[in-house]
């Protein structure tokens, strides 16, 4: 008997538990709520799907899983080009990169009229931060911390794109980005899983609208599943090593939030995760996405990702790449053409079960039914033009741009007052820099945007102050630049009351395949900056970039600095209104701003080491200071922390007050198991006062730290935020009702649960300040 018990014990501890840990089975799921009855979860379309499936030949089924690019390529090659013939034969299920009503309708006509079963094509495109109307890049949109605004932006983009026949966007990109060297940081919501999840859900709601079959709704695609942002060294497409704990706690939540918001599709990523490419990864694609989350939509590969299984080294030929990608869970093959070439034969030979093929085809057909494409395959060409650039969309673009601006520094200048907002005494302004009047470099991803639609900083400033009061020179190119131009810039600065410097990156320096090893100002811009500052004139530096730039000199010597990201079509008006104080800056950083590249990856929600350091002075070398986790030549702290941003007002935060001093892990877990995450476990509140003389919008943030847990937890983790408006002198009590999930974590068995812990809670203006409140979680 004793032996039997011992054997059971050994099995339970050595075999069963690791299995649980590895698969995540049997764990408490974090808040879930896959929407039933809507979009791809509308079971009423299933009968139609089955009826159609029964009529399909093997080749026609495979056709539904093949996707090609028929326009401007967004990756290497296009797969094939004989699309018209293929569509007529039912060999194409989806196309991407076509973007006008005329073109989508023409190809759709072939599918609907000439193919045997008349199955419509779904047209996809990267409708990211706009279609024709260019909004700020996603990093800028996230910096608004305004989910309702982001939802409206996505809705507006969907309205425009759908008018051209695009019913599927490859967005939002919800990859967590902790390394500014990675150019695609520009395309996401930054480094935090909580903010990232809120943004992910907002985009999905906006793109998909209240009904996926609404004629102005487009299917969302949360990408890139998963871990793509953790690329080694920030080199795009590179390898990632992410423990299951880290994957679950940081990288997966935004995808889960997108799925819970009803996202119809997911895109599998390019990167290898722990040795297995994300596009052939059964753990993430089957176990997590399908089994744990109940995702019913289509998994699309990223561009050529199935073919890339060969260079990754897990397949030596096309058929093996198809077998591995498909069986792992990739339903649709974007551009590699390998499903087209080999899938039917793999099914015929029994290497891929017929039932697995049918399941993937069902998902694609379900998407098309859910979008209403069988009833309305065409878009109305006559409504296309009127759908673009509507006045309310342009005004939304201006609001979004204003709220995305992050005021990084605004120190008193020579007359003891900050330069910003600009006083009415300012008559003559020198506008210097390559990005002051550069429409093509104000946006990154909205492919249909046109330069003539965009109002540049120069144009808006000139309108505001009058041509005669604006002296504009470039000073240098973004890269390159001559001595004469630098000298002209210095001379121009000398003539003005204030200098505006518009510096930064061009849009080709961030986004896909745009990793950088240096994060300073490109070309001769740093030289220009130093020469202009040396004139002694008050200088405002406006940075345009897809990532934070390491500019220690500027942050020391330039009194006012604003991060503008790439603000889009309303760049000029948004900047002018903000610089002149008609709009009070309210953007907050969604990435930790590094002092130097060597600090990367840099993120606020890091673990403490056993030898933590709080901003130790790198020049000190006493033994107390030496054996710490730090650089000997750089501070550990960022230049500006996550959540940071100034306004023209000053804000005061009162003490963080908590409704309870003790919580019970057992009660929290009971709430989690009952999935009653809306239930309040604890209310935290603080008074926030606008002590300045201007109306302000403040992003009030709430952070939690858990100590004494089975797995080390971050020094702070965002668990709530709220944007509030405060009149001058006004005080508001801001209360956060925290659910059980705010106190739960992925534990040492990869279960999402609460544990006994010491809890610190901050209500604060950013991730580095605020007063702390304490609560204890007892068993």
Nearer to ligand BGC, 97 or 709 (CB): 97
Nearer to ligand BGC, 96 or 688 (CB): 96
Secondary structure of residue 162 in the 3-state scheme: helix
Shortest Å distance, C-beta 344 to ligand BGC: 25
Instruction: Name, in order, each residue with C-beta under 8 angstroms of 742's C-beta and a sequence gap of 6 or more.
Output: 681, 682, 704, 719, 720
Shortest Å distance, C-beta 508 to ligand BGC: 15
Q: How far apart are CA 39 and CA 205, in angstroms?
A: 11
Q: How far apart are CA 686 and CA 240, in angstroms?
A: 40
Burial class (CB in 10 A: 0-12, 13-18, 19+), 729: exposed
Shortest Å distance, C-beta 204 to ligand BGC: 16
Shortest Å distance, C-beta 75 to ligand BGC: 4
The site string for ligand BGC over 196-225 (x = CB under 6 A, - otherwise) reads ---------------------------x--
Question: By C-alpha distance, which of 238, 228, 247 is closest to 188?
Answer: 228
Q: Does 588 bind ligand BGC (CB under 6 A)?
A: no
Q: Does 255 bind ligand BGC (CB under 6 A)?
A: no
Q: Does 229 bind ligand BGC (CB under 6 A)?
A: no
Q: How far apart are CA 605 and CA 614, in angstroms?
A: 14
Nearer to ligand BGC, 221 or 405 (CB): 221
Nearer to ligand BGC, 305 or 768 (CB): 305
Q: How far apart are CA 653 and CA 705, in angstroms?
A: 19
Tokens 């005004």 belong to which residue?
Answer: 395
Nearer to ligand BGC, 303 or 544 (CB): 303
Q: How far apart are CA 492 and CA 537, in angstroms?
A: 11
Nearer to ligand BGC, 94 or 478 (CB): 94
Shortest Å distance, C-beta 76 to ligand BGC: 9
Q: Angle at the Cα of 380 (from 378 to 384), degrees rounded to 5?
A: 125
Helix (H) or strand (E) holding 33: none
CB of 409 closer than 8 Å to CB of 646? yes
Q: How far apart are CA 398 and CA 134, in angstroms?
A: 10
Q: Does 740 bind ligand BGC (CB under 6 A)?
A: no
Nearer to ligand BGC, 170 or 255 (CB): 170
Helix (H) or strand (E) holding 155: helix 147-163
Query: Of the candidates 42, 126, 179, 437, which one interacts with ligand BGC according to CB under 6 A?
Result: 126
Q: How far apart are CA 104 and CA 622, in angstroms?
A: 69
Q: Does 697 bind ligand BGC (CB under 6 A)?
A: no
Q: What is the DSSP string of 191-227?
A: S-HHHHHHHHHHHHHHHH-S-TTSTT--B-EEEEETT
Beta-strand ranges (E) seen in 641-743 are 651-653, 657-658, 662-664, 682-690, 696-707, 717-726, 731-738
82 is catalytic: no
Shortest Å distance, C-beta 576 to ligand BGC: 33
Nearer to ligand BGC, 105 or 279 (CB): 279
Shortest Å distance, C-beta 330 to ligand BGC: 14
Nearer to ligand BGC, 513 or 774 (CB): 513
Give the number of other CB atoms < 10 A from CB of residue 233.
13
Q: Does 188 bind ligand BGC (CB under 6 A)?
A: no
CB of 647 closer than 8 Å to CB of 696? yes
Nearer to ligand BGC, 176 or 470 (CB): 176
The site string for ligand BGC over 454-493 (x = CB under 6 A, - otherwise) reads ----------------------------------------
Shortest Å distance, C-beta 120 to ligand BGC: 20
Q: Does 302 bind ligand BGC (CB under 6 A)?
A: yes
Nearer to ligand BGC, 131 or 170 (CB): 170
Nearer to ligand BGC, 224 or 537 (CB): 224
Q: Does 170 bind ligand BGC (CB under 6 A)?
A: yes
- Selecting among 146, 175, 300, 302, the annotated active-site residue is 302
Tokens of 200: 């992910």
Shortest Å distance, C-beta 138 to ligand BGC: 12
CB of 504 closer than 8 Å to CB of 543? yes
Q: What is the dihedral of CA 189, 193, 194, 199, to 10 degrees?
A: 30
513-516 long-range contacts, CB within 8 A, separation 24+: 513/183, 513/236, 513/237, 514/183, 514/184, 514/236, 514/546, 515/181, 515/182, 515/183, 515/231, 515/233, 515/234, 515/235, 515/236, 516/181, 516/183, 516/234, 516/547
Shortest Å distance, C-beta 231 to ligand BGC: 12
Sign of the alpha-carbon torsion through 103, 307, 281, 241: negative
Instruction: Name, in order, each residue with C-beta under 8 angstroms of 44's C-beta and a sequence gap of 6 or more.
Output: none
Q: What DSSP designation does 757 have?
A: E
CA distances to 228, 541, 546, 579 from 509, rounded to whole Å, are 18, 19, 8, 26
Instruction: Name, in order, each residue with C-beta under 8 angstroms of 257's C-beta and a sequence gap of 6 or more.
Output: 174, 196, 197, 198, 200, 201
Report the first-to-last Cα separation within the chain, whole angstroms: 33
The interface with ligand BGC within residues 30-89 (CB under 6 A) comprises 74-75
Shortest Å distance, C-beta 285 to ligand BGC: 17
Q: Does 146 bind ligand BGC (CB under 6 A)?
A: no
Query: Of the candidates 512, 697, 698, 741, which one interacts with ligand BGC according to CB under 6 A?
Result: 512
Q: Angle at the Cα of 200 (from 670 to 175), degrees rounded to 5?
A: 100
Q: How far apart are CA 340 and CA 63, in angstroms?
A: 7
Tokens of 90: 């039912």
Shortest Å distance, C-beta 184 to ligand BGC: 8
Q: Does 151 bind ligand BGC (CB under 6 A)?
A: no
Query: CA 93 from chain center: how many Å?
Result: 28
CA distances to 60, 85, 90, 367, 760 from 115, rounded to whole Å, are 10, 10, 5, 19, 63
Q: Does 307 bind ligand BGC (CB under 6 A)?
A: no
Query: Of the candidates 41, 303, 565, 736, which one interacts with ligand BGC according to CB under 6 A?
Result: 303
Shortest Å distance, C-beta 85 to ligand BGC: 23
How many residues make contact with ligand BGC (CB under 6 A)?
A: 9
Tokens of 759: 């809890």
- Bridge partners of 471, per DSSP, are 430
Nearer to ligand BGC, 168 or 762 (CB): 168
User: What positions carry a catalytic annotation?
Assistant: 302
Binding interface with ligand BGC (CB under 6 A): 74-75, 96, 126, 170, 223, 302-303, 512
């Amino acid at each position: 008997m004793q032996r039997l018990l011992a054997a059971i014990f050994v099995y339970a501890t050595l075999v069963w538990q690791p299995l649980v840990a590895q698969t995540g089975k049997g764990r408490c799921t974090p808040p879930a709520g896959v929407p039933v009855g809507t979009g791809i979860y509308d079971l009423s379309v299933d009968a139609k799907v089955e009826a159609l499936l029964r009529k399909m030949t093997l080749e026609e089924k495979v056709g539904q899983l093949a996707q090609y690019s028929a326009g401007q390529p967004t990756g290497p090659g296009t797969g094939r080009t004989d699309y018209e013939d293929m569509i007529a034969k039912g060999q194409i299920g989806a196309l991407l990169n076509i973007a006008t009503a005329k073109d989508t309708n023409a190809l759709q006509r072939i599918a609907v009229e000439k193919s045997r079963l008349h199955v419509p094509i779904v047209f996809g495109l990267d409708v990211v931060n706009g279609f024709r109307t260019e909004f700020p890049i996603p990093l800028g949109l996230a910096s608004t911390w305004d989910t309702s605004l982001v939802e409206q932006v996505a809705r507006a983009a969907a309205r425009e794109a759908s008018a051209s026949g695009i019913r599927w966007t490859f967005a939002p990109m919800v990859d967590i980005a902790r390394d500014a060297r990675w150019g695609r940081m520009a395309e996401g919501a930054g480094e935090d899983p909580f903010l990232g999840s809120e943004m992910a859900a907002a985009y999905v709601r906006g793109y998909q609208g209240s009904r996926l079959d609404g004629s102005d709704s487009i299917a969302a695609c949360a990408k890139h599943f998963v871990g793509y942002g953790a690329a080694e060294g920030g080199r795009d497409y590179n390898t990632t090593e992410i423990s299951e704990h880290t994957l679950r706690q940081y990288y997966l939540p935004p995808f889960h939030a997108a799925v819970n918001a009803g996202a119809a599709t997911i895109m599998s990523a390019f990167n290898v995760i722990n040795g297995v490419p994300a596009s052939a990864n059964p753990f993430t694609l089957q176990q997590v996405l399908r089994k744990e989350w109940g995702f019913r939509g289509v998994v699309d590969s990223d561009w050529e990702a199935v073919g890339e299984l060969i260079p990754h080294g897990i397949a030596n030929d096309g058929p093996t790449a198809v077998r591995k990608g498909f069986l792992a869970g990739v339903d649709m093959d974007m551009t590699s053409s390998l499903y087209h070439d080999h899938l039917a034969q793999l099914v015929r030979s029994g290497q891929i079960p017929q039932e697995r093929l049918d399941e993937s085809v069902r998902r694609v057909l379900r998407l098309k039914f859910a979008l209403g494409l069988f009833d309305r395959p065409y878009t109305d060409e006559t409504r296309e033009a009127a759908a673009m650039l509507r006045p309310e969309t342009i005004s939304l673009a201006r609001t979004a741009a204003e709220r995305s601006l992050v005021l990084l520094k605004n120190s008193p200048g020579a007359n003891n007052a900050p330069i910003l907002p600009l006083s009415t005494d300012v008559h003559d302004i020198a506008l210097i820099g390559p990005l002051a009047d550069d429409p093509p470099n104000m946006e990154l991803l909205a492919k249909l945007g046109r330069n003539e639609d965009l109002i540049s900083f120069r144009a808006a400033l000139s309108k505001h102050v009058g041509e005669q009061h604006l002296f504009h020179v470039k000073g240098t190119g973004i890269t390159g630049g001559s001595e004469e131009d630098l000298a002209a810039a210095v001379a121009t600065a000398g003539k003005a009351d204030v200098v505006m410097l518009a510096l930064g990156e061009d849009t080709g320096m961030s986004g896909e395949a745009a990793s950088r090893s240096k994060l300073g100002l490109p070309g001769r811009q740093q030289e220009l900056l130093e020469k202009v500052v040396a004139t002694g004139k008050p200088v405002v530096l406006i940075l345009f970039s897809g990532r934070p730039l390491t500019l220690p000199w500027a942050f020391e010597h330039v009194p006012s600095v604003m991060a503008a990201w790439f603000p889009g079509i309303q760049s000029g008006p948004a900047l002018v209104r903000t610089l002149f104080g008609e709009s009070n800056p309210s953007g907050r950083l969604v990435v930790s701003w590094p002092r130097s590249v060597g600090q990367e990856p840099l993120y606020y929600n890091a673990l403490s080491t056993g030898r933590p350091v709080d901003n130790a002075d790198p020049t000190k070398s006493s033994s107390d200071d030496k054996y710490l986790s730090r650089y000997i030549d750089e501070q550990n702290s960022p230049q500006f922390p996550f959540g940071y941003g100034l306004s023209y007002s000053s804000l005061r935060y009162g003490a963080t007050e908590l409704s309870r001093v003790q919580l019970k892990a057992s009660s929290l877990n009971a709430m989690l198991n009952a999935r009653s995450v809306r239930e309040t476990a604890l209310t935290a509140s603080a008074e926030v006062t606008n002590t300045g003389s201007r109306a302000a919008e403040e992003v009030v943030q709430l952070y939690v730290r858990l100590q004494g847990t089975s797995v080390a937890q971050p020094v702070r983790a965002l668990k709530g935020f709220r944007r509030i408006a405060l009149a001058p002198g006004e005080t508001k009590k801001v209360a956060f009702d925290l659910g059980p999930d705010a106190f739960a974590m992925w534990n040492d068995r990869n279960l999402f649960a609460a544990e006994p812990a010491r809890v610190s809670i901050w209500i604060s203006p950013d991730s580095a300040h605020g007063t702390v409140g304490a609560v204890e979680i007892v068993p």
